[in-house]
Amino acid sequence: MRELNKPFIYRVVSDGCIDIFFNHNKPIENYVMGFCRKYTEFSIGKVFDYIGIRFFPSSFPLLFGIQAKTLSNQSQKLDTILTDFSKWITSEIAASDAFEVVAELLNEKLINISQKQKPKYDQRFYNALQLIFQKHGFIDTEKDLDTGLSPRQMRRIFNFYIGTTAKTFSNVVRFQYILNAKPSVKSLKNNKLYYDVGFFDQAHFIKNFKTFYGITPTKAFG
């Protein structure tokens, strides 16, 4: 494995997901990162081999019964959150295992965990989640999420399943919609995709984009 000249800075872009990740060369170093309301970055050294599991919004709390809010905007050692799963990674995954082998082990483990669970979820929450995705995050969460949840219930349930408010999550969905469109600097300038999802001018869009990505759209897509 080639060593870099300087430590690699890993950029975490806001996407609404929760991740478990570990050092393949030293599986005892395993962590969980919650929902991030803005981009973050950290050094992972000059030589690295990390493997991660990405849980789509609401999946992690549903599978493990952990309130997402307790994980938000930070990474923590996995053994402080899911002790048994952390120990399983340490004991069952070896640095010599090929990626395909590790992926199969993780898939089998997660399937086994899910089969033992009898998750209870509020359909009103998933109706709200569906509306947010359908609108690409461009939604008035106080007026348009008419799913039978009071504002207090909405706040509580989004904190549990997502790790933040419906409004903040919607902003991340809106950002990801633009990111997934893979625009160029020219297309953003000519087509102004950001107007379609509620940005009232370019300055507003750029400020929002920098919050979630860490750099301007010109640098990201240039």
Domain ranges for the chain, please list them. Answer: 9-116, 123-221
And the tokens for 50? Answer: 């990390």
Instruction: Please check whether residue 176 is in contact with residue 15, taking contact to mean a CB–CB distance below 8 angstroms.
Output: yes
pLDDT of res. 8: 86
pLDDT of res. 85: 97
Instruction: Please check whether residue 177 is in contact with residue 136, taking contact to mean a CB–CB distance below 8 angstroms.
Output: yes
Measured at the alpha carbon of residue 110, what is the angle toward residues 106 and 111, in degrees to the nearest 5? Answer: 115
pLDDT of res. 121: 80
Please give the model's pTM, rounded to 2 decimal places: 0.89
Kindly indicate the confidence band of residue 160, based on its pLDDT and cuts at 50, 70 and 90: very high
Which DSSP helix (H) or strand (E) runs through 53? strand 50-55
Percent of the chain surpassing pLDDT 70:
99
Question: What average pLDDT does range 138-167 have in this prediction?
Answer: 92
And the tokens for 219? Answer: 């640098």
Q: For residue 95, how far is the Cα from the chain centroid?
A: 26
| CATH number for the domain running over 123-221 | 1.10.10
Closest CA to 106 of 62, 52, 50: 52
